[in-house]
């Protein structure tokens, strides 16, 4: 399944994972420090970066999320995606 | 998740974090279940960490799957997975390293936010210790990488739960005033 995936797939996915990790860490931090304006500003900054990356990834490689939270123009790519344990 | 070789012996140990008492499934179920009755200010933390544990569960499953997918029946048997093979084939199953099926008997819900959060802290520390044993038991650099990442997550979770205890201690003292 992982054969034939372009380098760009892994590059974008890794960048997305990095940004997601920052957002996850900020979330847990804010759960116990909800009044830190600096952390809130960082969330906003990384949220925007994530949006750009998600759009780039999804237009090239298909949906990242379930429940049709991603744009679906033709067909139902969810059924054909390589899954995390296949790449 | 990068896994470079077929190693059913290691998979047999890793399954502890899939269906074991201090594994990722137990963690996710424990935290998400506590959310309904915990004071509001901690619900977000339990939701976030509980969901993250499901992501970790998928990481462990991916490692186990990749370590066993190309194994022969003989290799599975030699790794002590003959019993698993007879019951589950190459499917994953929620059991611990010793082969005992997952049970919620390893979880408690005490109806007391402080007691529950202390259990969460203990669970994180036990998961961290299990990851350390797993890191020590393998020499596969890719697997060690993933396991170190997961170990560090348990450290952060324990830290956040400790902070949550402090938040709630204040809250409980307020309540006693009435
Ligand atoms: Fe954890």
Give the tokens for residue B144.
């060690």
Residue B1, pLDDT above cutoff 90: no
A 18-47 → B contacts, CB under 8 A: 24-25, 27-29, 31-33
CA-CA-CA-CA torsion for B9, B10, B16, B17, nearest 10 degrees?
-160
Which residues have CB under 8 Å from B146's CB, separation 6+?
B1, B2, B59, B63
**Topology annotation, domain B8-167:** Ferritin (1.20.1260)
In Å, what is the CA distance from A3 to each residue of A10, A82, A85, B78, B168?
12, 10, 13, 30, 51
pLDDT for res A39: 98
Confidence of residue A3 (pLDDT cuts 50, 70, 90): low
Residue B134: CB atoms within 10 A of its CB come to 23
Confidence of residue B177 (pLDDT cuts 50, 70, 90): low
Confidence of residue A77 (pLDDT cuts 50, 70, 90): confident
Please, is B32 exposed, middle or buried when counting C-beta atoms within 10 Å of its C-beta (0-12, 13-18, 19+)? middle
Q: Do B44 and A84 make contact, defined as CB atoms within 8 angstroms? A: no
Give the tokens for residue B177.
């005033």
Residue B21, pLDDT above cutoff 80: yes
Domain boundaries, chain A: 1-60
CA-CA-CA-CA torsion for A9, B140, B4, A20, nearest 10 degrees?
-20
* Å from CA of B157 to ligand 1 middle: 5
Structure confidence by residue, pLDDT tens digits, B122-165? 999 999 999 999 999 998 999 999 999 999 999 999 999 999 99
């Amino acid at each position: 399944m992982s054969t034939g995936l372009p380098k760009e797939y892994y590059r974008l996915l890794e960048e997305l994972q990095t940004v997601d990790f920052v957002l996850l860490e900020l979330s847990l931090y804010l759960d116990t420090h909800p009044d830190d304006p600096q952390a809130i500003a960082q969330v906003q900054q990384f949220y925007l970066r994530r949006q750009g990356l998600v759009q780039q990834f999804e237009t090239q490689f298909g949906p990242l999320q379930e429940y049709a939270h991603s744009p679906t123009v033709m067909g139902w790519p969810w059924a054909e995606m390589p899954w995390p344990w296949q790449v | 998740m990068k896994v470079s070789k077929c190693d059913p012996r290691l998979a047999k140990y890793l399954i502890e974090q899939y269906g074991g008492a201090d594994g990722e499934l137990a963690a996710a179920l424990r935290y998400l279940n506590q959310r309904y009755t915990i004071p509001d200010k901690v619900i977000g933390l339990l939701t976030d960490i509980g969901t993250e544990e499901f992501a970790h569960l998928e990481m462990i499953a991916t490692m186990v799957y990749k370590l066993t997918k190309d194994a022969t029946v003989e290799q599975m048997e030699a790794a002590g997975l003959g019993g698993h093979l007879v019951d589950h084939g190459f499917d994953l199953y929620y059991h611990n390293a010793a082969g005992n099926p997952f049970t919620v008997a390893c979880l408690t819900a005490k109806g007391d936010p402080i007691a529950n959060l202390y259990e969460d802290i203990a669970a994180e520390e036990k998961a961290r210790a299990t990851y350390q044993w797993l890191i020590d038991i393998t020499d596969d650099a890719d697997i060690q990488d993933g396991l170190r990442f997961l170990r560090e997550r348990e450290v952060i979770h324990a830290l956040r739960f400790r902070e949550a205890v402090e938040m709630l201690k204040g809250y409980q003292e307020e309540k006693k005033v009435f």
